[in-house]
Amino acid sequence: MNLQATIAAVKKGEVKAEERVNKFLQVIQSTKEFNAYIKINDKQAKAKAVSVDHRIKDGRKTGKLAGCVVAIKDNINIKDQETTCASNILKGFISPYSATVIEKLEQEDAIIIGKTNHDEFAMGSSDENSCFGPVKNPHDPKRVPGGSSGGSAVAVALDTVDVALGSETGGSVRQPAGLTGITGLKPSYGRVSRYGLVAFASSLDQISPFAKDTADLAVLFNVIAGHDERDSTSAEIEVPDYSAYLNKDVKGMKIGIPKEYFADGLDGEIRDGILQIVEQLKAAGAEIRDVELPLSEYGVAAYYILATAEASSNLARYDGVRYGHRNKDKAGLTEMYAQTRNEGFGDEVKRRILLGTYVLSHGYYDAYYKKAQKVRRLIKNEFDSVFSEVDALITPTTPTTAFLIGERADDPLQMYLSDVYTVTANLGGICALNVRAGKDKNKLPFGLQIMANQFKEEILFQIGDFIDRKCTRYQWE
């Protein structure tokens, strides 16, 4: 039963929200080895479920997500709950307010069951950088689930929730969705409010949803999308009903295949699986066109300059003075700052702060940061040009399936290249969706990425849902 049917059954009283919560809590308990959660809100979730059931029994109104159980990445604030960002520096910090997306979920009677694990401050591609330990892939616990929103992805993949929220800066939802065999959306920049999301790189970050498939994703996205006056980057643009774009065909749609995304470095099984689905779209009436995005090769370099620069600025606030961890052994203010940050931040966060400080420093700003901003503009222009010719692009989501935990720990550059197919969407502010595409010979899942121009998420839902329903997946079963 899909999410829409489940909510309908709850509203009719055929399924009890309380029973659903209890079932999910049992699954969470039995899958603790995967380390998907930082905190379980069992009491609050049960209380909300009982409230929903009572209102339904009394014939009172309930929200659009009544009975829907959600997990939240622990860099999204929930009032009166701890927000750690999976970092020692924020352990014990209790948020005084809720993010806009949390308010929207609660208003529509969603049930928040817990906060999920992730790479510290959302910095990582493998979910190995959490102070709570690594998250493990449900298809092979010796492998990574992808990052940084791996905990939320695993929570959905393990059936511990209906849907989940993560955050996207350079592929942090699409990549783990691909490596765990579920669906993940990176919205257009400005489509979902960032108010209440702890900042990593403010010009790139977006709160982003996970679900089992595109249809379930539409139910969640219909609630969280929209303008928010508390977020100055939120776009005041009408939000369509994304569910209206489900159960449609793709006849007449123009889909581009950028050759740069299918070049050397892409696993052969992933390439064959995606191209098989492309052929099925063609047979269904879609017009397939070869396109070029030559500036994509500069995406990773530009992204890691801009993202680290913004991170070095955003993370300057964690100094031991206002909130979070504080070293109490150092008498001097400067020494306290330094030791607090040294104790509180993990190695990857320190690395990115150092890189960001370097590219913003005198003598290097023009050579690195300013040049990266120019490349970003050119990448955006390139997307605008290609989307004047096609409705959407299809690419791989990741170059490989999930790698072993620890395999790339000593090679940051190799780790950063995991984002080679995803970072350009964040740089360009466009929207992109991962749908499951198949499994390799080792039974490890991989995803297919669909990209569309800014504020054209409905195109993603139409194509993604068609693939979910109609396309035979390469070695999926």
Whether 148 sits among the annotated catalytic residues: the reply is: yes
Rounded distance between C-alpha atoms, residue 337 and residue 304, angstroms:
26
CB atoms within 10 A of CB 456: 17
172 tagged catalytic = yes
> From CA 209, how far away is CA 219, in angstroms rounded?
10
Q: Identify the CA nearest to 168 among candidates 145, 144, 194.
A: 194
* Catalytic position from the list 126, 130, 148, 312: 148
- The Cα 138–Cα 127 span in angstroms is 13
Query: Of 39, 64, 73, 212, which residue is the catalytic one?
Result: 73
CB of 461 closer than 8 Å to CB of 455? no
Residues 6 or more apart in contact with residue 145 via CB below 8 angstroms: 126, 127, 135, 136, 137, 138, 151, 153, 154, 157, 176, 179, 180, 402
Residue 272 Cα distances to 65, 206, 276, 329, angstroms: 38, 31, 6, 58
Of 95, 172, 296, 418, which residue is the catalytic one?
172
371 is catalytic: no
User: Which single residue is written with the structure tokens 């900042």?
Assistant: 199
Number of H helices, E strands in the chain: 15, 11
Of the candidates 147, 109, 113, the one whose C-alpha atom is nearest the C-alpha of residue 127 is: 147
Task: Enumerate the active-site residues.
Answer: 73, 148, 172
